[in-house]
Chain A
C-alpha cells in the first residue's frame, strides 16, 4: 500500500486549544436559518391560545361559538374537547416519595392555577386570524383566592390547589451528621453560641425569567407514518420520550426535531403545555399545525427560575474558621411541579459548602406550590442560589472577624495539595487550585490598589464610595452520573451517546445526543474528533437535534455537553481506530502489534510503511480485501456515563461605585479567573463566560419577575422585565488557570453556567462592601438604585419592588433582614 503522509502529526497544529471560528456562523450571519417559526408546511394550520387572566379561578363555562364563526377559523377546542388525547405534563424528578404533585393537564377544563394558563385553543388558516378569534372566546371564571406570597403559601394560608389540602410539596434534607460525611451542625452552632461566632441571615433569590431570544415555537406534522414535531427545545430526546409516555403514541412513531434553537438557558428544558396542545390538535385534525408564542406569552407562561427564601446559619470559631453551616430554603414551584421541579434546589444542596472545609453541614428545602407561573431550571439551576448564599455569608464572616474577605476564604478553603477532597456534602472534588485562580484574579483587578482607593474614599467621605466584591465559586456540573441521579430519584439517567461514521470519501460524520442551541458544538466537537482521528477539522460534520439522525441522547443542560457528550465522542472515535487497526494491518501486511496510530495514520514500527485512516475507510467501504471475519464498517457508537460530576471553580472580583447620595451604581471593573480544566476552544469559552457573567450580573442588579396582588405578572414584557442592553454592561477581563479534570479523557470541565453562578454574589458583595461602613450588611436583589438609596437612608435591605399595591410580606409579621422598608431594622436579622 501507499506510504502517503496526508497529515503528518508533527506538521499539523492540534485542534484542541485553537480559537477556531465557528462552523455555525456562516448560516447565522446571512439569515440562512431554520428556526421552528420559519417552518411552513402545505396546509399548515396556526394556533392561538386563550389564556386565563386570573391566577386562580374555576372555569364556569367557555363559549367558543363566536370564535368559531370568525374568518378562516377551522376549530376552537377546549380541554374537554380534547380529553385524554392531550396527555399530561410530567414531573421527572419527584424529590421525595411522598411529594405532593398536582395533576398537570396542558389545558385544564375545570380550574386554572396561574395567570397565563391555557383554557382554549383557536385553530385558523393564519396566525393573525387565530389571534383575532382568540379574542372572541368567552370564558366565564369564578375567581378563587390565590396563593401568591411564598412564605404565606408555605403556611398554607391560601391553597394553590384546594383538593391537595396543602401547598407543601416536598421536604428534602441532607444532613452531614446523618449521612456520615460530617458532624452535627446543631452541635457546631450550639458551641459557637457560647464561644464563637454565629451569623444568621436571610436572603431572597428573586424570581427570574430565562428570556431566551427566540420565543418558543412548535410545529407538528401528523401526515406521515411517523408524527414529526419540530420544537424550539433543548431536549428533543426527553421530549420524544414524554410524548410517547403520556399521549399513547408509540415512541417509534414519533420523530422530534430541534432545528436552529435560539437560546435556552434552561428555559427550553421543559415539556410544555403548548407543545402538547399543538400535538393533540394536529393529530385530531390530521393537518400540520404551528404555534409560536408572543414574547408576552413567553414571559408569562414559559417557566421561570430561582424564587427562593434562604435562611442561613453559619457557625465559626472566633478566628473565622467555619465549624458548621445550616441552610433552610423555601422554594417556589409555582402552580405545578415542572419537569425538573423541586430538583432545582436539590441540585444546589451539595454546593452550599462550596470550596470550603466545613466540618458540619445541613441543607433542607421545602418546595411550595403557589398560583404563579411554574419554575424550573434557569442557567445554573440551584447552584447560583447556593453560591450566592455562601459567598455572601463568607463576606459577612470576614466583616465580623474584621479581616479581608479573601483572607477568610483562604482560611477555610481546600488547599490545592489536598485534592482529591471529599466534601462535607459527600462529593469528591477531583482537582482545583483556588490559590492560583485567586492570585491571578487579584492581579487582574489590581486588588490592593483598589482597596487603597476604597480607604481613601472612605476617609475623605467621598459621596461616591467604592466596593470590591469577591466570589470564589465552585459548582458541580456535567449532569450526570446515572447512579447518582438514581439515588436522588431523578426519572432518567445522565449518560450521553455518540456515533462516529467514516464515510468512503474521507469525511467523518459525528452524531451526538446533545442538542446545541448556541453553544457551538459543531465547532468544538469537530476539533475533538479531528484531533482524535487525525482528520481535517473541515472534514468533520457534527449532526444533532433530530431523533431520526441522533436516535439516542440526553440533550443539553447542566454544562454536560462537552464533559459527557464530548467524552462519548472520544470513546466512539477510539473504537473507530480499534476497528480500523486490524484492517490496516491486513492491508499493510503487518502484525497488529507492530502498528501504531498517530496523526491520523497507521504506521508499521521501524518502517516507512503506513496508511491514513481515510484510506482504511475507503478500503473498508470497498470491502474487497478485508481480513476474514471482520465486518465492513468502521462506524462506532459509544455511550458514556461519568463516574462523577466535575467541579469547575474560579475567583471573580467586581469593583462597584455607589453614589451614596442617589443610590446609583456603576460597575467599574469585573475580572475573573476560571479553572475549567483543559479548554477545547478559547473563543467559545470566552463567549460562554461573558454571557454567563451578564446573566448573573443581571440578577444582582436588574431582573425580577414581579407579580401584583392579584397574581398578574406585571413584568410581562420586555418593556417591564429589565434585560440588560449593551449600554448597561461593560467589557470584562477573563483568564484561566488549568487543573485538568481527572474523570474524563480530555480533562475538561463544564463552563456553560460558571459565569452566571459566580457573578451574582460578586456584584452584591461589591455593592454591600461599598456601603458597609454606613451600617449596611444587606441589599435585596435586584439592587436597584432605589433599594440602595433606601438602605443608605436606614430602611434595611431596601424592601420589595412591588410597590404599595402589594405588600409582599406581612407588615412586621415575617422575620429576616430583607423586609419592607420601614418595617424592619436597618441591620437585619441576627447580626
Chain B
C-alpha cells in the first residue's frame, strides 16, 4: 500500500492504495465519484476522461499513485456554484448526448480541447475528440455542442 494525497473536485483527500490501483478505480471505488465511468479496458473509449492538473487524461491509463499531489477535476466538479460549465450547457442545448455514458468523458475532453483551441474548426473538433467513443449520437450533435460552447455559429 502506498499513501497518496491529492485534491479531487476541490476537496483534499488522502488514502492508502495498492500500487496497481488505477486512478479511475480510486475515483469510483474509494471516493464514490461514480460520475466518471469505465467503458473499456484498452484505453480506447475515453469514457473515464478527467483533468489531471488541468489537462485531460484517461483515468484508466493513470495509476492512482501517479496522481499523488495532483489536482484532479471530474465531471462532478466541473460546475461551479451550481452553475453548469458552458460545455455542459452546450451538450444539453445541442442534444449532444443520448444514453449519457460517454458524456462525462466527452465533456471533459471537449473542455480540454477548447482550452487549447478556443475557436476550433469542425475538423479540429472531430480530431480533438477522436479518443472518445460514442455509440448513440453519431457525433453530429456532439460536434455542434462544442461549436456552440466555443461561441461559434452552429449549423443544423
Binding site for B on A (CB under 8 A): 21-22, 24-33, 35, 37-38, 128, 211-215, 260-263, 265, 294-296, 517-520, 683-684, 686-687, 690-695, 717-719, 723-727, 729, 731-733, 755
Contacts and interface: CB of A to CB of B under 8 A. Distances in A.
A37 B135 CA distance: 19
B45 A687 contact: no
Interface stretch (B51-59, B62-70, B96-104): B96-104
A31 B133 contact: no
A755 B126 CA distance: 21
Top 3 nearest A-B pairs (CB, nearest first) are A31-B35, A518-B99, A262-B101
Nearest to B78: A30
Contact of A729 (B41, B101, B139): B139
B116 interface: no
B35 A22 contact: no
* B28, B84, B99, B126 interface centre (most CB from chain A within 10 Å): B99
Interface in B24-44: 25, 28, 33-42, 44
Contacts of B134: 213, 726
A213 B92 contact: no
* B100, B126, B133 interface centre (most CB from chain A within 10 Å): B100
Interface string B97-136: 1111111100100000000000000100111011111111
Interface of B: 18, 20, 25, 28, 33-42, 44-45, 47, 74-76, 78-79, 84, 88, 91-93, 95, 97-104, 107, 122, 125-127, 129-143, 155-156
Nearest to B101: A262
Nearest to B94: A683
A35 B97 contact: no
B135 A212 contact: yes
* B33, B122, B137, B139 interface centre (most CB from chain A within 10 Å): B139
Contacts of A690: 137-141
B100 A719 contact: no
A359 to B, nearest CB: 38
B150 to A, nearest CB: 15
A211 B135 CA distance: 7
A213 B44 CA distance: 11
Nearest to A732: B140
A213 B101 contact: yes
A736 to B, nearest CB: 13
B91 to A, nearest CB: 5
A723 B44 CA distance: 10
A263 B42 CA distance: 20
Contacts of B93: 21
Given A30-B88, A260-B100, A718 B45 contact: yes
Contacts of A32: 35, 76
A24 B93 CA distance: 12
A30 B47 CA distance: 14
Given A262-B101, A725-B133, 7 more contacts: A31-B35, A211-B135, A213-B39, A263-B135, A295-B41, A686-B95, A690-B138
Contacts of A26: 92
A727 B127 contact: yes
Given A25-B92, A693-B138, A718-B45, A520 B98 contact: yes
Contact of B44 (A263, A691, A719): A719
Q: What is the predominant secondary structure among interface residues of chain A facing chain B?
A: loop
Given A29-B88, A37-B38, A261-B99, A726 B156 contact: no
Contacts of B34: 31, 33, 35, 37-38
A468 B77 CA distance: 47
B105 to A, nearest CB: 10
B75 A30 contact: yes
Given A519-B98, A687-B137, A719-B42, A31 B130 contact: no
Nearest to A299: B40
B146 to A, nearest CB: 9
A300 to B, nearest CB: 12
Contacts of A296: 41-42
Contact of B125 (A27, A520, A686, A726): A726
Nearest to A25: B92
A294 B42 CA distance: 10
A650 B40 CA distance: 35
Contact of B100 (A262, A693, A733, A755): A262
Nearest to B74: A31
B22 to A, nearest CB: 10
A731 B42 contact: no
A517 B99 contact: yes
Contact of B141 (A35, A261, A687, A723): A687
A25 B106 CA distance: 14
A701 to B, nearest CB: 13
27 contacts: A21-B93, A24-B100, A25-B92, A28-B100, A29-B97, A29-B100, A30-B78, A30-B84, A31-B74, A212-B135, A213-B99, A214-B37, A260-B100, A262-B100, A263-B135, A690-B138, A717-B40, A717-B42, A718-B45, A725-B130, A726-B134, A731-B140, A731-B155, A732-B138, A732-B140, A733-B156, A755-B138
Contact of A518 (B44, B100, B131, B139): B100
B101 A263 contact: yes
Given A261-B99, A683-B95, A729 B40 contact: no
B21 to A, nearest CB: 8
Contacts of A692: 138
Contacts of B44: 717-719
Contact of A717 (B41, B101, B129, B131): B41
Given A294-B41, A731-B140, A25 B75 contact: no
A726 B126 CA distance: 5
A212 B102 CA distance: 10
A32 B155 CA distance: 30
Contacts of B76: 30-32
Contact of A213 (B33, B45, B156): B45
A263 to B, nearest CB: 4
A725 B129 contact: yes
Given A29-B103, A691-B138, A726 B132 contact: yes
Contacts of B78: 30
Contact of A684 (B91, B95, B129): B95
Contacts of A25: 91-92, 97, 100
Contacts of A724: 139
A316 B122 CA distance: 46
A726 B135 contact: no
B38 A215 contact: yes
A474 B37 CA distance: 37
Nearest to B36: A31
A261 B135 CA distance: 13
B144 to A, nearest CB: 8
Contact of A21 (B75, B95, B131): B95
A731 B145 CA distance: 13
B84 to A, nearest CB: 7
A189 to B, nearest CB: 40
Nearest to A298: B40
Contacts of B42: 295-296, 717-719
Nearest to A32: B35
Nearest to A696: B138
Given A295-B45, A686-B141, A687-B95, A29 B107 contact: yes
Contacts of B18: 128
Contacts of A727: 126-127, 129-130
A694 B133 CA distance: 12
* A26, A215, A294, A719 interface centre (most CB from chain B within 10 Å): A215
A689 B137 CA distance: 8
A368 to B, nearest CB: 28
A691 B127 CA distance: 19
A517 B38 CA distance: 17
A690 B28 CA distance: 32
Nearest to A720: B42
Contacts of A755: 138
Nearest to B39: A213
Contacts of B156: 733
Contact of B133 (A683, A686, A723): A723
